[in-house]
Amino acid sequence: MSDEKRFVSPEDVESQRFGWGVLKWMSTPAETGSSRMSCGVVRLNPGKGHERHTHPESDEMLYVVRGEGEQEIGEETRDIAAGDMLHVPEGVPHGTVNTGWEPLILLAVYAPPGPEEELRDLPDCEVIPPGELPE
C-alpha cells in the first residue's frame, strides 16, 4: 500500500478472526505507512475474551467504543464500559473479557507497531481477505 493513504474503510483491510472475536487493523506500516503506531478495531463476542498476554516492546491504548467488560492490567482488574480509556505499558500482562450481552468494541493502538503482525501469525488466527466480511 502507498504511504500516502489517509482514509481507510473496514472493507479495505483484512480481518483476523479468532474464537473470541475479530480484529481489523486499520492503520499499520503496510496500510498507511505509519511507522510510529498501529491502530485497529477489536470486536469481542459476548462472554468471550482472550488470555493474559504481554507486548514486550509496545505500549497499548484501548478505548471502549461500545459494550462492557472486565479488563486486567497487571494485578488490577476493573469493569470497563463505553467511554473508558485504558493504558497498558509495554511488558505488563493484561487481558479483556466481554461480560455483556452485546459485542464489546475497542479501539486498540500499539506504539510502536508490531504486535498486530504477531497476532496474525498465531495458529488460531484465520485471516479473512479485504472485502470479505467476517461473521
What pLDDT, on the 0 to 100 scale, is given for residue 3?
A: 52
Residue type, 115: P
**Which amino acid, residue 107?**
L
Q: CATH: 3.40.50.1820, 2.60.120.10, 2.60.40.1180, 1.10.10.10. Which one for 10-128?
A: 2.60.120.10
Question: How high is the pLDDT of residue 133?
Answer: 73
Positions in the chain whose pLDDT score sits under 70? 1-4, 135
Given the C-alpha cell 498486530, which residue does it identify?
116
pLDDT for position 2: 46
Give the span between the Cα atoms of 135 and 132, in whole angstroms. Answer: 10
Residue boundaries of the structural domains of the chain: 10-128
Q: Cell numbers at residue 24, please?
A: 481489523
Hey, CA dihedral for 34, 83, 50, 43, is it positive or negative? negative
